[in-house]
A = this chain, B = another copy of it.
Amino acid sequence: MSENPDNQSTSELSLALVGSGGAGVMTAGQTLLDAAAASDYYGLMTRATGPQIRGGEAAAILRLSARPVECQDDRLDLLVAIDWNKAERFADELIVDDNSLVVADPGQGEVPAWITDSGARLVEVPFDALTREFRGARTNTIAVGLVAQLIGLEGRDVDATVRRILESKGAKLIEAALAGLELGRTAAADLAGPKRLERRPEPVEPRWLITGNEAAGLGAVRGGVRFCAAYPITPSTEIQEWLAAHLPELGGSLVQAEDELASINMCLGASFGGTPAITATSGPGFSLMVEALGLATQAEIPVVVVDVMRGGPSTGIPTRSEQSDLDIAVHGAHGDAPRLVLAPNSIGDCVTTTQWAVHLAEALQSPAVVLSDQRLGQARAAIAPPPSRDWHAQRKLAGNDTADYRRFTDAEDGVSPMALPGMPGGEYTATGLSHMESARPSASGMDHRRQLDKRRRKFAQFDFGKHWADIDGDGDLWVLTWGSTTLPAREAVARMRDRGHAIGLISIRLLSPLDTEALTEALRSCRRLLVVEQSHGGQFHRYLRSHIELPADTHLLARPGPLNITPGDIVSGLEELTLEDAA
C-alpha cells in the first residue's frame, strides 16, 4: 500500500462515483472493487442508473472492507463526481456529512445543494481538463487513479486489474489507461484523502468476485440444471447470459424464447423429459408464467423460476430493487396450488439458495420460485466462496418394474415416482386436468381431493432441515426479514449488539411452505419484533400474519423500492421499539 500519512487508516471505507453514462463510472467502480479484491479486501459495488438507455446519469457505490460486507453503509467517506448531471436523482442514496470528502470537476456544473449543505469537505479536480494531458486518456480512469491513491490501494493491483479488464482491447488502450491512472494519482498527490485502507495481513482467505445474478446461474448448474429457456428482462438478463455461456460447457442448452409463455413452457417440456430446467425473469415476465406454474403443480413437473424483483406494479421501475413480488410468488395461481418459494439473503447465498431450489423442486416434483432482486442480482462483490452443498437434482423415478405403473400413485410421502420418456412401461400422459392416480383425467371430487391431499402431504412430510431460515441471537427483541433486506438488518443487529442490546435476527429463506412451527419456536422468547421489508404494502408482514400469531408488540418497517433501507434505518426502528418499551 502506498503511504499517505496525513489521513487516518481504516479497515473499511465507503465511496461513490457519479457521472453521466458516457463517463464510465460503472467501469471505474468495478476496477476499484476488483483492485481492492486483489489487495485482499472484501467489498461490494451497487449500481444506480437513470432511465436513459445509454448516457444517462449513473452512480457506482462501493464499500470496501477487511471483513465480509454485502450492504452499503449509511454514508459515504468519499464521493467523486466526474460530472453532476442529474446526480440529485440519487441524493437519498449518496449521503455525505462533515466527515466526507467530495471531489468534483469545477468545469462540470455547480455542486448541488444536498452536498454543499452537508458540511462535507469539497475539493476540485478538473477531470475533463486532465484528459487532454494524454491522448486517449479517459476521465473515469483518471478518477480510478485518484481514488486508488486517496484510499491507499496498491498501485500494482490497480494496474494489473486495468490490464486484465482491457486485455482484449489492445496495447494502445492499455497504455492510455495506465497513463490516465497516473494522471489521477498525480492529481491526488497533494490532496488530503478521507480514510486510508490499511494493509491486509497475509495470507488471506480466497475470495470470489461475483454478481448475484452470476451466483444464481452458478447455483442452478450446481443443482444440476441443464436446460434454460428465457426471454430477456431487466434486471434478470445477466442470469440468462451467464447460463447461455456456461450451460453448453456442461452439455446443457439455452433457448431464447419468443416470450415468457414460451420460456416457462419450454422449461416444463425439458423437465418432463428429465432435464432439470430453470428460467429467470422479473415481475412482468413472472406474471405471464403463472398459468404454466399451475400446470407444473397439477402435473407435478419440477421447474425453477428465478424472479429478480424490481419496482412494481406493471413496468414499474425496471432498473431498481423492490421486494414486492412475494404475493404473486406465493399466491399467483388459480386453484389450490401451494408451491416452493425461496429467497437468497446475500450475493453468495444466491448460489446456495438457487441450488437448494433446484434440489427441492426436483425432490418434490414442484415448481420453485427464487425471489432475488435487483439489489442482489446486479451488485458485484468480493466475497468468501459460497460453501459447497451436496444438493443435487434427485428425482424419485419409476423403477424398472413398471407393471401397473401409475404416475400419480397416492404415495405415502406424497411424491409419486415419475417415469421419463424412454422408460418402457412408464408411458403416461401428463395433464393439467384433475386426474386419477393413473393420470387419467377425472372430474370426480374424490379423485381431485386425493391428489390435492397428496400434494399437500409432500410438502408437509418433507424434512427441509434448518435451512428454512438463518437464525441468530436471542433475547426478547428480534428482527424478522427476508431476502436482500437481510443485509442491512444483519449490520443493524451487529450495531445494536455493539451497544449492548441482546437482539435476534431471523431471515427466512424458505418462504413457502413456511415452517410455522419452527418460526413460532424461534420467536418464543420474542416480545418485541421489528419486521423489515422493501414493499409498500407490507406483503411479508401480512403473509406472516396469515400463518402465525405475531407478538402483540410488532412493528413494521416497510418501504417501497428504490428508497433505501439502511442499517441506520433499522437501528432507528429498533430504538423506537426499545424506547416504547422504556416509556
Contacts and interface: CB of A to CB of B under 8 A. Distances in A.
Contact of A331 (B282, B314, B332, B449): B332
Interface in A400-454: 431-434, 441-446, 448-449, 452-453
Nearest to A284: B291
Contacts of A443: 50-51, 89, 311, 317, 319-320, 562
B319 A335 contact: no
Interface stretch (A124-132, A214-222, A321-329): A321-329
A327 B331 contact: yes
Contact of A313 (B294, B535, B543): B294
A265 to B, nearest CB: 12
Given A443-B317, A545-B545, A452 B330 contact: no
A273 interface: no
A320 to B, nearest CB: 6
A382 to B, nearest CB: 28
Contact of A297 (B294, B314, B330): B314
A275 to B, nearest CB: 21
Contacts of A543: 546
A539 interface: yes
B313 A335 contact: yes
Of the candidates A334, A441, A535, the one having the most CB atoms from chain B within 10 angstroms of its own CB is: A334
A291 B294 contact: no
B314 A335 contact: yes
Given A327-B333, A328-B331, A561 B316 contact: no
A299 B428 CA distance: 46
Contacts of A433: 314-318
B336 A560 contact: yes
A539 B337 CA distance: 10
B338 A537 contact: yes
This protein's copies in its complex:
2
A334 B545 CA distance: 20
A287 interface: yes
A209 to B, nearest CB: 27
A370 to B, nearest CB: 15
A92 B290 CA distance: 33
A104 B289 CA distance: 49
Nearest to A444: B89
A478 interface: no
A482 interface: no
Contacts of A537: 336, 338, 456
B312 A539 contact: no
Task: Give the bracket for the number of chain A residues in contact with chain B.
Answer: 35 or more
A283 interface: yes
A560 B445 contact: yes
Contacts of A547: 542, 545
A433 to B, nearest CB: 5
A523 interface: no
A445 B563 contact: yes
A295 interface: yes
A337 B316 CA distance: 11
A123 interface: no
B330 A335 contact: no
Nearest to A51: B443
Contacts of A325: 334-335
A286 interface: yes
A467 interface: no
Given A314-B432, A316-B433, A448-B317, A333 B294 contact: no
A444 B92 CA distance: 10
Contacts of A539: 336
A466 interface: no
A156 to B, nearest CB: 39
A288 interface: yes
Nearest to A283: B334
Contacts of A546: 542-543, 545-546
A536 interface: yes
Contacts of A486: none
Contacts of A51: 441-443
Contact of A334 (B297, B313, B434): B313
Contacts of A545: 545-547
A324 B335 contact: yes
Of the candidates A298, A299, A335, A445, the one having the most CB atoms from chain B within 10 angstroms of its own CB is: A335
20 contacts: A51-B441, A89-B444, A284-B291, A287-B290, A287-B294, A291-B314, A294-B312, A307-B334, A312-B333, A312-B337, A313-B333, A313-B335, A317-B443, A325-B334, A328-B333, A331-B331, A443-B562, A448-B563, A449-B560, A545-B545
Interface of A: 50-51, 89, 92, 282-284, 286-288, 290-291, 294-295, 297-299, 307, 309, 311-320, 322, 324-325, 327-328, 330-338, 431-434, 441-446, 448-449, 452-453, 456, 535-537, 539, 542-543, 545-547, 559-564
Q: Top 9 closest A-B pairs, CB basis?
A: A312-B335, A283-B334, A313-B335, A314-B432, A546-B546, A445-B563, A287-B291, A331-B331, A313-B337
Given A284-B334, A298-B312, 13 more contacts: A50-B443, A92-B445, A92-B446, A283-B294, A298-B315, A311-B443, A316-B448, A325-B334, A336-B537, A446-B563, A448-B560, A448-B561, A543-B546
